[in-house]
Amino acid sequence: PFEKKTLGENHPAVAATLNNLAVLYGKRGKYRDAEPLCKRALEIREKVLGKDHPDVAKQLNNLALLCQNQGKYEEVERYYQRALEIYECKLGPDDPNVAKTKNNLASCYLKQCKYKEAEILYKQVLTRAHEREFGTIDGDNKPIWQVAEEREENKHRNKDNVPYGEYGGWHKAAKVDSPTVTTTLKNLGALYRRQGKYEAAETLEDCALRSRKEAKVAQLLGSGGERRSGRNARVGSRESLESMQYDQDECAALSYVQRTPSGTLETKQGGLKTKIFSVLGINQ
């Protein structure tokens, strides 16, 4: 039976299962079916955990992504901004979820052609990552986006442009071991290209490429700690390519979802959507 009947309608396991079902629907492109499940999971988590709990922020991220796929950008901005406030307040500005949520919000801005707002967020992510690794920003310690913009400004003064080395160790940015930073480099590079800043774009793209190579070498040498293998390694490699992903709960089983011998997911007979919506009292 569905968890609500045995654990109560506001049990965290119910929220986790609802979230996983919403993720399943979202990955299948059934955003309208997923949204009420995600909203109900959010209500439960707010009631049980409090409105400023990190798990609430995770649910807000999922809800924002579902709404973004439906073009509901005002709601998307509100959900991401609230999630960002929770993460920064409860987990601190250096928590990986802060950078990921800023990337997600920037993506929402890009969909609406709000390029300046997106650019500000990308620069915040790169600046914070640089300061965390290499100290306070100054004339000899510049974040990579500033290096990129200086190269853009100087491209007509010097045909061959100024070598990277003259900018006080620009290569530091490529040594930041963070898939989110690598994604941000690519995203801001793409935005620069859209603005016609090709020299700046190439600088960030080159840095992102070097960053991936650095990470790969470090993994092969085992310098980054215990090497990941199997499924975890594949998940890590995907993270750098897909900055926007649903957060799925691992603790809750999907009561009406089973895996076929071929490895695909399918619902058991009886109508998953009808059963879940009926239990929750949601009109279809």
pLDDT per residue over 12-63, tens digit each?
A: 788 999 999 999 999 999 999 999 999 999 999 999 999 999 999 999 999 9
- Quickly state the pLDDT bin for 91 (edges 50, 70, 90): very high
- Give the tokens for residue 261: 């011998």
Write b or e for each residue in 105-118: b if 16 or more Cβ atoms lie within 10 A of its Cβ, otherwise e.
Answer: bbbbbbeeeeeeeb
pTM above 0.85, yes or no: no
In the prediction, which pLDDT does 8 show? 64
Dist CA 252 CA 91 (whole Å) = 24
**Of the candidate ranges 41-45, 57-61, 120-124, 150-154, the one whose mean pLDDT is the lowest:** 150-154
Q: What is the pLDDT of residues 160-218, one digit of tens each?
A: 555 555 444 445 655 566 788 889 999 999 999 999 999 999 999 988 887 766 555 45
Q: Is the pLDDT of residue 254 over 50?
A: no
Residue 28: name the closest of 254, 243, 279, 264 by CA.
Answer: 264
* List of domains in the chain: 8-92 (1.25.40.10), 116-136+143-153+174-221 (no CATH)
Mean pLDDT of the chain: 77
The total number of residues written for the chain in this structure: 284
